[in-house]
């Protein structure tokens, strides 16, 4: 019932909480320029989308603003060196991430010169209206600008809302609802002119009719400065609208609802209802990129909390280690409680202070030990419904919790789990101290993982099916080739007056000798295969097939078959003759070889089984022969042959070892 | 009377033709149940289920020849999913088929030791190993299903199965209340 009443209020999102702001005083909030750090660590993935592609090498000198990694794909952003220096390492570094894991990063040792290239990578264009919109987007993309409110979505993508009148309203988000964080507040108070100029630029880029800058009512200085800037620039299309201070007012969907009364559809984007939302800091970055050709190499970060000596808003080079910021702010005030990147509601704990500031870092919160509430053990849910009351997305936190806890992720998804913005209101009000948001995150990443696995198994299935298909095709091709050969052989046999077989090698004809030798070798190889596979019927079949093939390769045989065993003996003799380098009589050797050749031919033409036996015998004989063969004779040719044979034998025996 | 016979005869002929046409037009290729089962299997193609791949196993389940508890890579979740699809009882994994791996594995070739024999390439069911005769081989990690089929054929034992390294991309929030809780 209270929920209905709350929802009935005009221009307000449902739920939400009134939190203590803990913002810096106006004096503290003034933006200070942090010194250029001694080294910068630039993770390749500082944005939503594909990690940037490396463009530099270790040892290379880079200048301030130089592109060190380029965007990889449409939803990606390049990374620029935030100061001049030398690349000292490229590899995994601790990065700010809730997992505490390392990720690839470029480490640059600053040389202190902070030297910029003589010419920027693109030309500054103060009159942005002379630029084509695509060109404008291209420059925003080149400048590596991402949403600076915390989500780090590549801004160039959001500047391309599609053709025509897709967008009617541009909203600049200056709500900054989370406690402690005051970087946007400082920007609005000090750089209102740039925000307004950036707003005009973005409005031109996306062809939006209206532009609203939404600011929470606890930032009067920012509101005044923005209004003054609007008057000065006579920007009539832009309006500053004050919204009530209520967490999570700065949530994109919540701010849209407050300012326009329109609700972003489930799992949709503001673009679906003709609205584009950018952070005020992003507007400044876009303005600077276009008019001053400055890539995104610095941002304003709030360093605050009870655990820091001198809280401040610092303009920091991207990649500065958190420890250097803390040192600049006077170091830790006493023992450190907890180091949080982001705000107390949506931020995450850092495992160490060596991690760098990235494009998404809006706040470093150093909690004092007394600020860190001990984690109370979760008690049972009492179904009080408080969580549903405060949920700004109008979800059913209790149901989501039950499903997440029971690992029924599909059911949680069916209850619009992905509309949860993880604001933490539900966990904040839970009287049983149930870590609700952690359950939702657990469920969300669990669903992502399952999806990833499904994708991977789909790929594996396709690859496996492709492989099966390929093997099948290869088999058929082989079969077809065999068929062709068989047919051609039959044709040749059938053909009358086929040319007479070549004359038997006579005397010391070298060519004939070589042919004979090659044939002998072949026969021997076949025999060996047969012998090796004597126990395996499949292998035997393969051997038979090979033998048949060899038979097809031979010229047609006219001689009548003799006893195969005799053939084998002839073969063995030939081998002996060949190997025995007595070779004093080349003619005799050739005759022996010719005999062997004949035998081999004959044997191939016969029944495969007897063939196999014959070959096995021949092989055995040959082997015994080669074993017994005396080495170190003076015929170099024979020695070389022996060496080659030894090598072959070694190679053949290798895979079986 | 004649009108009735003609009318019903006409109707019967009309429906007969329509049904016959529909049977040809909307013919179901294969068994849709096999596809559904196959979609639930992890596609590791490891053969631990005693069938030569995930699809043959799916066909065996659909044909009633195989139990639903023969897939170790699918693990308990896989069995539950199959039980739900087929309306069967959830049964524990059959130990004869192996045990479910704690963490997903991926094959790594010690490239210095590889002799380039191509035996692992022939064993890989998803063509995830790259190489050529007498040239070093390597595993395409993203395509490797961790089936371990390449390990036994390797003559020099240069293939190791290692757990998939956790990175920011595949990191998941731990279940609240577990000791590994990060935040």
Q: What is the pLDDT of residues A391-403, one digit of tens each?
A: 999 999 999 999 9
Chain-centroid distance, C-alpha B68: 13
B interface with A, Cβ–Cβ below 8 Å? 38, 41-45, 53-55, 117, 119, 125-128, 143, 145, 155, 166-168, 170-177, 181-183
Q: Provide, as residue numbers in chain A, all residues whose Cβ is less than 8 Å from the Cβ of B165.
A: none
Q: b or e along A545-557 (b: 16 or more beta carbons within 10 Å of the residue's beta carbon)?
A: eebbebbeebeee
Which residues face B116 on adjacent strands? none
Average pLDDT over residues A552-576: 51
d(CA A461, CA A481): 30
Quote the tokens at residue A146. Answer: 């991402």
Q: Name the least confident of A15-24, A196-205, A513-522, A640-649.
A: A640-649
Q: Provide, as residue numbers in chain A, all residues whose Cβ is less than 8 Å from the Cβ of B167.
A: 101, 103
Partner-chain residue, chosen from B143, B145, B173, that has the shortest CB–CB distance to A441: B173
Cα radius of gyration (chain A): 40
Q: Are A78 and A154 in contact (CB under 8 A)?
A: no
Q: What is the ipTM of this complex?
A: 0.82
Residues 6+ apart with CB under 8 A from A335: A369
The size of the A-B interface in CB pairs under 8 A is: 87
**Chain B interface mutation, best of A443, A457, A653, A657, highest count of B Cβ atoms under 10 Å:** A457
pLDDT band at A572 (very low <50, low <70, confident <90, very high): low
pLDDT band at A21 (very low <50, low <70, confident <90, very high): confident
- The closest of A142, A442, A114 to A288, measured between CA atoms, is A142
Strands A102-110 and A79-80: unpaired
Q: Provide, as residue numbers in chain B, all residues whose Cβ is less than 8 Å from the Cβ of A467.
A: 125-127
Q: b or e along A95-108 (b: 16 or more beta carbons within 10 Å of the residue's beta carbon)?
A: bbbbbbbbbbbbbb
Q: Which residue of B has its CA nearest to A468?
A: B125
The more confidently predicted of residues A124 and A473 is A473
**Tens of pLDDT, residues B9-21:** 999 999 999 999 9
Q: Provide, as residue numbers in chain B, all residues whose Cβ is less than 8 Å from the Cβ of A444.
A: 173
Contact B173 A438 (CB under 8 A): yes
Residues 6+ apart with CB under 8 A from A253: A13, A263, A264, A270, A393, A421
d(CA B14, CA A143): 70
Q: Are A319 and A42 in contact (CB under 8 A)?
A: yes
B124 min Cα distance to partner chain A (Å) = 9
pLDDT band at A549 (very low <50, low <70, confident <90, very high): low
Alpha-carbon distances of A218 from A19, A185, A251, rounded to whole Å: 12, 9, 16
Say what the pLDDT of residue A142 is: 93
Quote the tokens at residue A614. Answer: 């014959």
Chain-centroid distance, C-alpha B18: 38
Residue A357 has φ and ψ, to the nearest 5°, of -75, 130
A96 min Cα distance to partner chain B (Å) = 10
Say what the pLDDT of residue A551 is: 54
Q: Which residue of B has its CA nearest to A96?
A: B168
Q: Provide, as residue numbers in chain A, all residues whose Cβ is less than 8 Å from the Cβ of B172.
A: 442, 445-446, 448-449
Contact A438 B181 (CB under 8 A): yes
- The closest of B34, B49, B37 to B93, measured between CA atoms, is B49
Contact A442 B182 (CB under 8 A): no
| DSSP code of residue A275 | E
Average pLDDT over residues B140-148: 91
Contact B42 A453 (CB under 8 A): yes
Contact B173 A459 (CB under 8 A): no
d(CA A398, CA B93): 33
| DSSP code of residue A308 | B
- The closest of B79, B61, B66, B144 to B109, measured between CA atoms, is B144
Say what the pLDDT of residue A182 is: 93
Say what the pLDDT of residue A629 is: 43
Average pLDDT over residues A284-308: 93
Instruction: DSSP for A463-528, please give it.
Output: HHHHHHHHHHHHHHHHHHHHHHHHHHHHHHHHSSSPPPPPPPP-TT-HHHHHHHHHHHHHHHHHHH
Look at the block and give the residue holding tokens 């910029």. A116
pLDDT band at A593 (very low <50, low <70, confident <90, very high): low
d(CA A580, CA A571): 14
* Predicted confidence (pLDDT) at residue B140 exceeds the cutoff of 80: yes
Residue A54 has φ and ψ, to the nearest 5°, of -60, 140
* Predicted confidence (pLDDT) at residue A511 exceeds the cutoff of 80: no
Say what the pLDDT of residue A569 is: 56
**Tens of pLDDT, residues B148-158:** 999 999 999 99
Query: Around Cβ A56, how many Cβ atoms within 10 Å?
Result: 20
B2 min Cα distance to partner chain A (Å) = 59
Q: Mean pLDDT of all residues in chain B?
A: 89
**What percent of chain B has pLDDT above 90?**
58
d(CA A271, CA A253): 11
Q: Angle, nearest 10°, between helix axes A436-494 and B54-62?
A: 100
A interface with B, Cβ–Cβ below 8 Å? 45, 95, 97-101, 103, 348-349, 378, 435, 438-439, 441-442, 444-446, 448-449, 452-453, 456-461, 463-468, 654-655, 657
Q: Which residue of A has its CA nearest to B142?
A: A456
* Predicted confidence (pLDDT) at residue A570 exceeds the cutoff of 70: no
């Amino acid at each position: 019932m209270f929920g209905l009443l709350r929802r009935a209020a005009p221009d307000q999102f449902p739920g939400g909480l009134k939190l203590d702001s803990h913002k810096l005083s106006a004096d503290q909030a003034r933006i200070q320029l942090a010194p250029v750090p001694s080294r910068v660590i630039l993770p390749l993935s500082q944005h939503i989308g594909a990690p940037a592609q490396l463009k530099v090498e270790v040892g290379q000198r880079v200048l301030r603003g130089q592109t060190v990694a380029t965007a990889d794909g449409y939803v990606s952003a390049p990374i620029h060196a935030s100061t001049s220096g030398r690349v000292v390492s490229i590899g995994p570094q601790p990065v700010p991430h809730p997992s505490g894991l390392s990720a690839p990063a470029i480490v640059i040792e600053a040389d202190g010169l902070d030297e910029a290239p003589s010419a920027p990578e693109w030309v500054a264009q103060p009159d942005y209206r002379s630029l084509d919109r695509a060109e404008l987007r291209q420059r925003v993309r080149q400048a590596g600008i991402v949403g600076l409110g915390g989500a780090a979505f590549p801004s160039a993508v959001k500047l391309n809302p599609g053709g025509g009148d897709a967008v009617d309203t541009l909203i600049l988000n200056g709500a900054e609802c989370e406690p402690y964080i005051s970087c946007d507040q400082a920007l609005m108070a000090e750089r209102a002119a740039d925000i307004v100029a950036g707003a005009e630029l973005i409005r031109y880029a996306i062809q939006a009719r209206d532009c609203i800058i939404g600011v929470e009512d606890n930032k009067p200085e920012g509101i005044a400065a923005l209004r003054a800037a609007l008057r000065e620039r006579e920007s009539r299309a832009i309006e500053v609208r004050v919204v009530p201070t209520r967490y999570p007012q700065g949530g994109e969907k919540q701010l849209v609802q407050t300012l326009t009364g329109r609700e972003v559809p489930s799992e949709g984007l503001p673009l679906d209802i003709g609205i584009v939302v950018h952070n005020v800091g992003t507007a400044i970055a876009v303005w600077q990129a276009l008019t001053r050709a400055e890539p995104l190499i610095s941002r304003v970060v709030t360093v605050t909390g009870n655990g820091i000596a001198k809280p401040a808003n610092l303009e920091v080079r991207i990649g500065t280690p958190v420890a250097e910021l803390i040192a600049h702010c006077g170091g830790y005030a006493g023992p450190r409680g907890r180091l949080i990147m982001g705000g107390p509601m949506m931020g995450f704990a850092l495992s160490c202070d060596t991690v760098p500031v990235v494009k998404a870092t809006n706040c470093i919160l150093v909690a004092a030990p007394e600020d860190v509430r001990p984690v109370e053990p979760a008690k049972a849910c009492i179904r009080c419904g408080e969580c549903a009351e405060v949920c700004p997305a109008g979800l059913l936190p209790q149901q989501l919790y039950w499903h997440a806890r029971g690992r029924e992720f599909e059911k949680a998804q069916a209850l619009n789990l992905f509309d949860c913005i993880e604001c933490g209101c539900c966990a904040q009000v839970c009287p049983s101290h149930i870590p609700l948001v952690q359950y939702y995150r657990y469920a969300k990443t669990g669903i992502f993982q399952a999806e990833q696995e499904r994708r991977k198994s789909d790929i594996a299935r396709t690859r496996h099916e492709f492989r099966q298909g390929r093997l099948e095709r290869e088999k058929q091709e082989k079969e077809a080739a065999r068929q062709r050969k068989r047919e051609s052989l039959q044709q040749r046999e059938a053909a009358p007056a086929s040319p007479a077989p070549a004359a038997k090698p006579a005397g010391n004809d070298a060519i004939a000798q070589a042919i004979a030798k090659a044939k002998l070798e072949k026969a021997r190889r076949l025999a060996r295969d047969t012998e090796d596979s004597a126990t395996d019927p499949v292998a035997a079949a393969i051997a038979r097939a090979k033998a048949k093939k060899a038979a097809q390769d031979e010229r047609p045989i006219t001689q009548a078959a003799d006893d195969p065993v005799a053939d084998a003996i002839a073969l063995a003799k030939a081998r002996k003759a060949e190997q025995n380098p007595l070779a004093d009589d080349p003619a005799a050797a050739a005759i022996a070889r010719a005999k062997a050749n004949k035998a081999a031919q004959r044997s191939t033409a016969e029944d495969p089984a007897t063939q196999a036996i014959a070959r096995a015998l021949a092989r055995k004989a040959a082997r015994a022969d080669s074993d017994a063969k005396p080495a170190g004779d003076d015929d170099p040719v024979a020695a070389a042959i022996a060496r080659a044979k030894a090598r072959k034998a070694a190679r053949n025996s290798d895979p079986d070892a | 009377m004649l009108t009735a016979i003609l009318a019903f005869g006409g109707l019967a002929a009309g429906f007969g033709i329509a049904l016959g046409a529909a049977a040809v037009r909307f013919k179901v290729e294969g068994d849709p149940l096999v596809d559904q089962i196959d979609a639930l299997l992890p596609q590791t193609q490891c053969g631990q289920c005693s069938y030569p791949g995930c699809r043959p196993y799916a066909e065996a389940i659909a044909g009633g020849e195989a139990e639903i508890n023969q897939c170790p890579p699918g693990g308990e979740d896989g069995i539950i999913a199959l039980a739900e699809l087929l309306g069967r009882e959830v049964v524990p994994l059959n130990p004869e088929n192996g045990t479910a791996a704690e963490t997903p594995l991926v094959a790594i070739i010690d490239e210095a030791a590889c002799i380039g024999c191509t035996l692992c390439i022939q064993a890989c069911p998803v063509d995830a190993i790259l190489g050529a005769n007498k040239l070093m081989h390597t595993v395409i990690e993203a395509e490797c299903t961790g089936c371990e089929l390449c390990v036994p054929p390797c003559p020099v034992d240069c293939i190791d199965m290692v757990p998939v390294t956790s990175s920011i991309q595949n990191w998941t929030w731990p279940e609240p209340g577990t000791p590994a809780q990060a935040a």
